[in-house]
Structure 1
Amino acid sequence: MTRSADSHTVDSGTVYADVVLPLALAQTYTYSVPEEYVGGLREGQRVEVQFSRNKHYAGIVRRLHGTPPGFKTRPILSVIDVEPLLTRQQLELWDWMADYYCCTLGEVMTAGLPSHLKMASETIITLGPLFSDDIPDLNEDEYLVVEALTLQSELSLKDIRDILQRKTVYPVIRSLLDRHIILPKENFVDPYKALEVKCVRFGPACRTEAERIAAFDLVARSEKQTAVLLEYMQYSRTQPYVRRADLSKRTGASDAVLKAMVKKEIFEFYDREISRIGGEEAVAEPGPLSPQQVEALGAVRGFHAEGKAALLHGVTGSGKTRVYLELMQEVINAGRQVLYLLPEIALTGQIIKRLQRVLGDRIMVYHSRLNNMERVEIWKAVLSGKTSVVGPRSALFLPFTQLGLVVVDEEHDPSFKQHDPNPRYNGRDVALYLARQHGARALLGSATPSLESWENARSGKYRLVTMTERFGGTALPEIVVADSRETDEKGSHHPFFTPTLLTAMRQTIERGEQVILFQNRRGFAPVYFCPTCEWTVECLNCDVSLTYHKFQHRLRCHCCGYATPPPEHCPACGEVQLKLSGTGTEKIEDELKIFLPEARIARMDLDTTRGKHALGKLIDQFEVGELDILVGTQMVTKGLDFERVGLVGVISADQLLRFPDFRADERAFQLMLQVAGRAGRRDRQGRVVIQAHEGSHPVLTDVLAADYDNFIQREARNRQQHRFPPYGRMIRIQLRHPRRATAEEGAKLLGKWLAHALGDRLEGPFEPSVARLRTYYLQDMVIRYSAAPAEGQRVKEIIRRASAQLATQKGLSGVRIVVDVDPY
């Protein structure tokens, strides 16, 4: 096995395949293609290959060629797919992502394929050559295994666990293996199974219309059978197939009645394969476009005709989605596919209802909360070219064959960035590359475009389309800043709610309207400490404090998931009156129940939306008015459309503005303006109350005036002055190791090499604010360079060479190097 050579045309002789394996390997591996597969094997097909002594993997054929690797290769063991699973464009996209984001093809493969398409080997046990019927000295467990193997030729480890009724079976297996009584066999298992339902259809006695009429004579003595036959004949006229369960439910007949009719050959049972995916069948025409939407639509069409991507900058509630929908209809009606990209799963439920109301089952939703079977079926539907997709960034990896339009909604959102694991890509940027690959139109949309997109529009790379009015003439919400130190009439001060916000909430609920409260921190309180000696409960694996979750009565790390019960006393000084500090969504919800006991309150954060359908149910409850107040994290800021929301409250703007990040002002402005847009979405003006200590902060001034232009121009000047993106590029390199000294030694050595090649473009190494994460000590360094593509390639090649060299140093091979391109 070796790294593949350059592309060659295969004319004759041995054929070789460069195979991508689902491992973080720096290269593809070359295997020989057995003669029986030559001619039928193509790029993009999955093949079973052996890698290392006992491991089998499903790899993807990246390239076929006739260039020998220089030494004897292993053969491909089997071809899994009849047709390629990936398209040529997908493989090229994988190559580009691996190169641009400094990761491996195997890591891109792991991120891109549904888990049921990434097959793994399962150890199968068979009888060995030394087996005989009179083997002595078998203990009871060994005898049970051998006896089972004489009855069936193969057993999986799970089968053996079930037979022995114990979890630990390796000692038994090892004993039998050592005596060669059994042998392991690597058997490849495809976990995907089609979904089948039990159905009913006419049997041999009812093939013709005359036979079906005569069948009533066969059931004349049974009222139940007659009723079933009548119902089936009527129901089957409107349905493509009839389920046994549905027929029994509609007629009240037992399964015995149906079996009796099968015996008479009137019916027969069969299993039908059905799709796990699908949309609403009823398709409705969308409402008429407003003059502003007509104008925006015409401008976008014109820019697309020029071959330019368009940036649609429309205030919240201006009707951007309606413009997207019109363009999507045009593309789908022309027989091409659409990818509608959203930053969060939280948005897909509400958006998909609106899209499927118009597009029906021609568009499907794809995201990580679908089960693996559903994801495989959507994959195959997209590969066939017959369906379009709405989903978060993972939808970028689907095998589009007729892509005509890519829409990136809320393009500014940081959730488009994948932070861990590799590939650490930005979904917005990959979407634009994907559109360019397929020759598809690209449309970005946001009420608060990112500085990168604003600069691209200003420089002419994109074309800018603006929508300055809300649909239907609804006024933008009234925004006020409430001083967090404000007191009530009695002079008392509450740490979470100002009198202004409390009064506004009461008035809003009395009018029959709803409230959204935004707090960008989940849990009850982020710090649990001793007031005497200031000891703080910290994570065992990370250098962060544990967050207290009252509902679970647990302290939990939001970085690694470690959880523990709260201590009863301080281990340092023995103090038993430990205290909580800070505020999370759970605490806000708890306090609201005291001040507004009659209000119906719910939380929308990671803790309350973990289940597959939990988020959708919560949104539905709020949408139909079953809740008065929704407390949430960033989930509540992102494009949700609720017509009854009259008030939005931002609990603490200071937390957003003081974040140690050069993008802090931009993110704070975007979050506050986006969450403000949830108020007054229909025929009434909404109100927004922002609680802050620094009411005169320039960002708050721009939020109050909803002045995007002033904010973005000031932010652009600041970024230009310090050469921050988009006026320069950045790469963050992080070194991780379980020992602090080793991490520091590796960082110093790598930093020395990089500084020699890059000079003052390298900053660091330095210890980040969270110095230990998931038991690993961290060392960071940042490289800044110009936006020229050639410069980026040169810097990345220097990083690759230096990283490879560090791995060869004695004692440092275990240092993990994480390269994050465009990290923030």
Structure 2
Amino acid sequence: MTRRPPDPPSTGTVYADVVLPLALARTYTYQVPEEFVGQLQAGLRVEVQFSKNKHYAGIIRRLHGTAPGFKTKPILSVIDVEPLLTERQLELWEWMADYYCCTLGEVMTAGLPSHLKMASETIITLGPMFSDDITELDEDEYLIVEALTLQSELSLKDIRDILQRKTVYPVIRGLLDRHVIFPKEEFSDRYKPLEVKCVRFGPKYRTEAERISAFDLVSRSEKQTAVLLEYLDVSRKQPYVRRADLSKRTGASDAVIKALVKKDIFEFYDHEVSRLGGAEANARAGALSREQQEALGAVRGCHAAGKPALIHGVTGSGKTRVYLELMLEEIDAGRQVLYLLPEIALTGQITKRLQQVLGDKILVYHSRLNNMERVEIWKAVLSGEKSVVGPRSALFLPFTKLGLVVVDEEHDPSYKQQEPSPRYNGRDVAMYLAHQHGARSILGSATPSLESWENARSEKYGLVTMRERYGGTALPEMTVANSRETDDKGMHHPFFTPTLIENIRATIERGEQVILFQNRRGFAPVYFCPTCEWSVQCVNCDVTLTYHKYQHRLRCHCCGYVTSPPEHCPACGEVQLKLSGTGTEKIEDELKIFLPEARIARMDLDTTRGKNALGQLLQQFEVGELDILVGTQMVTKGLDFDRVGLVGVISADQLLRFPDFRADERAFQLMLQVAGRAGRRERQGKVIIQAHEESHPVLTDVLAADYENFIQREADNRRAHAFPPYRKMIRIQLRHPRRPTAEEGAKLMGKWLAYALGDLVEGPFEPSIARLRTYYLQDIVLRLPPHVAELKRVKDIIQRATDKLATTKGLSGVRVVVDVDPY
């Protein structure tokens, strides 16, 4: 039940506790001027001064009549007429700050669009829609616009100087609401729909009889007749026929198809498709399959019992169709839905499928939208009118009628926020949000996390299983190829086994496509001297620089530092420097040698940095313009293509040897998820996993698609070694530019914690990467019994130790980062 905030005092001085977008230990108290008494309530933005010259848009948390014990500053202006945040949102912020050991200000910074959390440093520029029409501007607004036409950018301090007054936020708000100005941060253009060139019958040949007569016109051309027959066949199976697809299927040149257009038999047109392709034909809300009906009934049973539902469904089983049925029920009842995805890249595909049924009742929200789009979505959700699909940032929207929360691909590590604070897990916050609103909740995955599986096993969640692919398509055939395998001549290639190369060739010859997974980008991760073994290191981090061949640069994947490759070894003078290891660039390069005729592309962070780059790449793959897609983890996440006949995992050993207690679980999930991209329609796909350790138990379970056996063994190992979910973990990381200072601070912190918590404390010790972004690191790990009361006590101890370190001479500069539920 939502806790109602106390009423403001009716007499005497009124004070407001205000949340500022700063890492302050608590809210800051301001005095409410008499003219604002009666206007203010929790959730409103107000303009306040903090420190000597800084002004911020803060959020009122509480109104009261208790003097804080220090001289208070007055609130300068009221920015909003109605509250921007709900009481439930503010309570969620407080829960997150408490659970994840951060401040309310850090949660505010993460949760609000930048338009809504302006500060003195915010830069304002004219909006692209401003048309020089000044008739609706008042005197203050006109002065701001005039100044912007002369110098293009202004800070809020500049605007105060122009207007000769301190309170400028209400003026700024009015211009922002009318799109006259924009905050400069994160400005980007709106998304544009992706379209594919398609073919259809011209107006003269729309009926069956007219189409028969078309064959008379092409009777003298064997190629035109073949194209026409192929078109008729394909058009019966799918709602549109791609121009490139028709050409590829028949082997006809573009000139043949153009000849049919010239005869008015065909016409070209542009058809809008999903950015991530492939799923339109099966995405409409048609009849549910038998298994989907059973799953839907089981989910309703879980909800009737007051439990979240965990859907464990194999890849391609149609979990989204089950979600959609429940979403329709909620939206028809006037309630809101939050549909969470782990990656921005997936929102295009899912939104396309959902909007075919739900129309504009569901909106997409993510960080690539511009400021105004995000604010408009914020207001639409606050009004209770719209439902939302998006990544973890969508959790912060102001839902007022939330009825259902869906967490798709709930196992995905992308739900965990790493930097900066709050370091929250979107899946877990979503469950709290649903509980807070009394909403129903669903988690779905083909490879559920051990945490969710344990919740289902202990009956905290209800378990719903879907074991068959939609439409009865068989799961892919899976095999392991020994990485040391040689060809008939005894030749051994370090990256591809003969089995994999032969299957790639055969798949392309059948007109199908290939996805190859290599979980490392760049060309080679090590650039070294073979004589003295010196290697090129990052100047800011304790990692080797990765060589990127196409840029001919060495790059740090931790901090972004870039440099040119050295011409010789600075230690011994050797000029023949070498490369070691394999990344996606090298895989792409080597494939072009083996398969020169194949059309190959790479999907990793380097090739998808542009706003439209990912959509364009997947569009090419979806329409058949590419034969092979080489990628990192991005290719494992929910992609759905008709023609993928083969999936290859280049190096399973690399996944299994990662130094992390979750390595086996992540490896199992990645391999089974990427395998699920193969054979998702009529033909059974094939998966080849290259590995040295063919008998590794994780590989055995992957080949058998035996999730239950894997998760039971993983649970036994975690329980035996006191790892999550059977222990609660908190990582405390100390950072400082000087190693001795970081070590001294860590020793003191470890000593204080050990005194209070005994053998629950491990460390301090250096992490595997001991220096990151110029800071030396020291880790302390706590493994705790998962009891709420114990967790609260431990967090209080951590806070006291952090405060004590901050006041210790010579150690005040040591930064303490607390990460609850890390990794």
Place the TM-score, normalised by the shorter chain, in its bin.
0.7 to 0.9
Distance 1:521 1:609 in 2: 15
Distance 1:83 1:609 in 2: 40
The residue type paired with residue 405 of structure 2 is V
Distance 2:819 2:604 in 1: 27
Counterpart contact for 1:623–1:642, Cα < 8 Å: yes
CA-to-partner distance for each residue in 1:380-408, whole Å, 9 max, x for gaps?
A: 11111111111110110011111100000
Structure 1 SS opposite 2:732: strand
Distance 2:7 2:363 in 1: 39
Cross-structure match for 2:138: none
The structure-2 alpha-carbon separation of the partners of 1:26 and 1:112, relative to structure 1 and needing over 3 Å to count, comes to same
Cross-structure match for 2:103: 104
Distance 2:414 2:116 in 1: 26
Structure 2 SS opposite 1:445: strand
Residue 11 (structure 1) shift: 2.6
Cross-structure match for 1:810: 809
Cross-structure match for 2:488: 489
Distance 1:9 1:814 in 2: 40
Counterpart contact for 2:647–2:688, Cα < 8 Å: yes
Counterpart contact for 2:18–2:60, Cα < 8 Å: yes
Residue 612 (structure 1) shift: 1.9
Residue 371 (structure 1) shift: 1.7
Cross-structure match for 2:20: 21
Cross-structure match for 1:385: 384
Cross-structure match for 1:286: 285
Distance 1:184 1:522 in 2: 53
Cross-structure match for 2:438: 439
Distance 1:768 1:56 in 2: 39
Distance 2:764 2:644 in 1: 48
Residue 70 (structure 1) shift: 2.0
Distance 2:6 2:67 in 1: 12
The structure-2 alpha-carbon separation of the partners of 1:805 and 1:468, relative to structure 1 and needing over 3 Å to count, comes to same
Are 2:626 and 1:644 equivalent residues in the alignment? no
Counterpart contact for 2:527–2:577, Cα < 8 Å: yes
Residue 54 (structure 1) shift: 0.3
Counterpart contact for 2:144–2:162, Cα < 8 Å: no
Cross-structure match for 1:405: 404
Cross-structure match for 1:143: none
The structure-2 alpha-carbon separation of the partners of 1:285 and 1:730, relative to structure 1 and needing over 3 Å to count, comes to closer
Identity level (%): 80
Give TM-score scaled by structure 2 length. 0.82
Residue 627 (structure 1) shift: 1.2
Distance 1:549 1:364 in 2: 38
The structure-2 alpha-carbon separation of the partners of 1:154 and 1:398, relative to structure 1 and needing over 3 Å to count, comes to closer
Cross-structure match for 1:775: 774
Counterpart contact for 2:100–2:819, Cα < 8 Å: yes
Cross-structure match for 1:132: none
Counterpart contact for 1:314–1:320, Cα < 8 Å: yes
Residue 71 (structure 1) shift: 3.1
Distance 2:764 2:146 in 1: 49
Are 2:754 and 1:755 equivalent residues in the alignment? yes
The structure-2 alpha-carbon separation of the partners of 1:763 and 1:551, relative to structure 1 and needing over 3 Å to count, comes to same
Distance 1:288 1:664 in 2: 40
The residue correspondences of 1:266-415 to structure 2 (distance < 5 A) are: 286-415=285-414
Residue 27 (structure 1) shift: 0.8
Counterpart contact for 2:640–2:677, Cα < 8 Å: yes
CA-to-partner distance for each residue in 1:769-795, whole Å, 9 max, x for gaps?
A: 111000000000100100111111111
Are 2:626 and 1:627 equivalent residues in the alignment? yes
The residue correspondences of 1:679-694 to structure 2 (distance < 5 A) are: 679-694=678-693
Residue 802 (structure 1) shift: 0.6
Structure 1 SS opposite 2:695: coil
Residue 340 (structure 1) shift: 0.5
The residue correspondences of 1:597-612 to structure 2 (distance < 5 A) are: 597-612=596-611
Q: For the pair shown, which has the larger CA radius of gyration, 1 or 2?
A: 1
The residue correspondences of 1:77-88 to structure 2 (distance < 5 A) are: 77-88=76-87
CA-to-partner distance for each residue in 1:339-372, whole Å, 9 max, x for gaps?
A: 0001111211111111111111111111111122
Residue 185 (structure 1) shift: 6.2
Distance 1:452 1:284 in 2: 30
Counterpart contact for 1:122–1:156, Cα < 8 Å: no
The structure-2 alpha-carbon separation of the partners of 1:711 and 1:156, relative to structure 1 and needing over 3 Å to count, comes to farther
CA-to-partner distance for each residue in 1:115-161, whole Å, 9 max, x for gaps?
A: 1111122599xxxxxxxxxxxxxxxxxxxxxxxxxxx9889998897
Cross-structure match for 1:704: 703
Cross-structure match for 1:788: 787
Distance 1:559 1:284 in 2: 39
Cross-structure match for 2:133: none
Residue 299 (structure 1) shift: 0.7
CA-to-partner distance for each residue in 1:626-674, whole Å, 9 max, x for gaps?
A: 2111111111111111111100000000010000111100100011001
Deviates further, 570-579 or 664-673: 570-579
Structure 1 SS opposite 2:579: strand
Distance 2:360 2:540 in 1: 46
Structure 1 SS opposite 2:679: coil
CA-to-partner distance for each residue in 1:195-244, whole Å, 9 max, x for gaps?
A: 599xxxxxxxxxxxxxxxxxxxxxxxxxxxxxxxxxxxxxxxxxxxxxxx
Distance 1:290 1:807 in 2: 61
The residue correspondences of 1:550-561 to structure 2 (distance < 5 A) are: 550-561=549-560
Counterpart contact for 1:116–1:376, Cα < 8 Å: yes
Cross-structure match for 2:819: 820
The structure-2 alpha-carbon separation of the partners of 1:155 and 1:437, relative to structure 1 and needing over 3 Å to count, comes to closer
Distance 2:671 2:685 in 1: 14
The residue type paired with residue 405 of structure 1 is L
The structure-2 alpha-carbon separation of the partners of 1:570 and 1:181, relative to structure 1 and needing over 3 Å to count, comes to same
The structure-2 alpha-carbon separation of the partners of 1:473 and 1:48, relative to structure 1 and needing over 3 Å to count, comes to same
Cross-structure match for 2:511: 512
Residue 181 (structure 1) shift: 14
Residue 72 (structure 1) shift: 2.5
Distance 1:184 1:601 in 2: 60
The residue type paired with residue 305 of structure 2 is E
Counterpart contact for 1:194–1:373, Cα < 8 Å: no
Distance 1:47 1:580 in 2: 57
Cross-structure match for 1:205: none
Cross-structure match for 1:667: 666
Distance 2:67 2:700 in 1: 67
Distance 1:158 1:388 in 2: 37
Structure 2 SS opposite 1:43: coil
Distance 1:80 1:385 in 2: 22
Are 2:94 and 1:95 equivalent residues in the alignment? yes
Structure 2 SS opposite 1:121: coil
Residue 441 (structure 1) shift: 0.3
Give TM-score scaled by structure 1 length. 0.82
The structure-2 alpha-carbon separation of the partners of 1:601 and 1:550, relative to structure 1 and needing over 3 Å to count, comes to same
Counterpart contact for 1:521–1:633, Cα < 8 Å: yes
The residue type paired with residue 414 of structure 1 is P
Counterpart contact for 2:728–2:784, Cα < 8 Å: yes
Structure 2 SS opposite 1:531: coil
Are 2:492 and 1:502 equivalent residues in the alignment? no
- Uncovered stretches (5+) of structure 2, i.e. residues with no partner: 124-141, 182-281
Structure 2 SS opposite 1:558: coil
CA-to-partner distance for each residue in 1:603-634, whole Å, 9 max, x for gaps?
A: 11111112222212222221221211111111
Are 2:449 and 1:450 equivalent residues in the alignment? yes
The residue correspondences of 1:464-613 to structure 2 (distance < 5 A) are: 464-613=463-612
Structure 1 SS opposite 2:615: helix
The residue type paired with residue 619 of structure 2 is D
The residue type paired with residue 755 of structure 1 is A
Deviates further, 183-192 or 774-783: 183-192
Structure 1 SS opposite 2:602: strand
The structure-2 alpha-carbon separation of the partners of 1:690 and 1:801, relative to structure 1 and needing over 3 Å to count, comes to same
Give the CA RMSD over aligned residues.
2.6
Cross-structure match for 1:732: 731
Structure 1 SS opposite 2:465: strand
The structure-2 alpha-carbon separation of the partners of 1:334 and 1:531, relative to structure 1 and needing over 3 Å to count, comes to same
Cross-structure match for 1:127: none
- Uncovered stretches (5+) of structure 1, i.e. residues with no partner: 1-5, 125-151, 174-179, 198-282
Counterpart contact for 1:477–1:688, Cα < 8 Å: yes
Residue 194 (structure 1) shift: 4.2
CA-to-partner distance for each residue in 1:74-132, whole Å, 9 max, x for gaps?
A: 010011111111111110000000000000000000000111111122599xxxxxxxx
The residue correspondences of 1:182-331 to structure 2 (distance < 5 A) are: 187-188=168-169, 189-190=172-173, 192-194=176-178, 286-331=285-330
